[in-house]
Amino acid sequence: METSAHGITAPSAVYEIAGRRFEIGTRGFAEAIADSHAAHQRPRCMCLVEGIEMYVARLGDGYIVKRMPDTGSHHAPDCPSYEPPAESSGLGQVLGSAITEDPTTGETTLKLDFSMSKISGRTAMPTAGGHSDSVASSGTKLSLRGLLHYLWDQAELTRWQPGFAGRRTWSTVRKHLLQAAENKIARGDSLRMCLYIPEAFSVPGGHPNSPTHGHLKFPHPDCASMRC
């Protein structure tokens, strides 16, 4: 779960930053998290009386407040930063191995079991135990589909938000997926720079943000892909 000054997520979270409390999007919030990042301070999510430590990372030209690794289940169930224990969501198999988050840098390193490019004349070897696009993972590396499902979850497209009502167009989905790819590193490179997600387009007589987009059906994790 990531909450920022750009209004990506529900504005109900309250953070304590340098002794002051802010709701997302309120006056002074953007400046407070920028100062917190510069001073290497840890905001606290106040969903519980004692507060839960968070951290601030860069996101494009701004900043984003993120929960510390493996702390989603420590938040109150109604907190935007709450996440079920990794063991019950399937993330427990890959966190710390295929997915490693570093609060110091704000970057998440992903280990992949597939190539991010295709070389002419070379055929990729299938992974043991099944196809490489399977959602299953060995626990040490992410399959292609596993990566897409991870990004879908990071973009919070697995959760319903009131702001999505009548506005969950492909343009919105694409924007959230690209934001989710920020600060993700794969094979030493920025995942955001390697990720290809088709832009919204229109067909004669259609609307550019129609759920069908011509031949593209309603947004699904398998719509995104890596560049070849």
Mean pLDDT of 110-119: 82
Please report, for residues 81, 89, 104, 118, the alpha-carbon distance to residue 45 in angstroms, rounded to integers and kept in the order given.
8, 22, 18, 44
Look at residue 137 and tell me whether its pLDDT is greater than 90: no
DSSP string, 158-206: TS--GGGTTT--HHHHHHHHHHHHTTEEETTEEHHHHEE-PPP---TTS
Going from the C-alpha of 57 to that of each of 17, 35, 68, 98, 186, the distances in angstroms are 14, 11, 11, 21, 18
Query: Rounded to an integer, what distance in angstroms lies between the CA atom of residue 101 and that of residue 106?
Result: 7
Residue 181's identity, in one-letter code, is A
- For residue 105 the two structure tokens come to 């840098």
In this prediction, residue 21 carries a pLDDT of 94
Of 166, 164, 151, residue with least CA distance to 222: 151
The tally of CA atoms less than 13 A away on the side-chain side of residue 194 is: 16
User: What integer is the mean pLDDT of 25-32?
Assistant: 91
pLDDT digits (tens, 9 = 90+) for 140-186: 899 888 898 889 988 888 877 777 777 788 888 899 899 889 889 99
User: Tens of pLDDT along 189-211?
Assistant: 999 998 888 887 766 665 555 54
pTM of the predicted protein model: 0.61
Whether 137 and 98 have beta carbons less than 8 Å apart is answered as: yes
Rounded Cα distance between 137 and 144, Å, is: 10
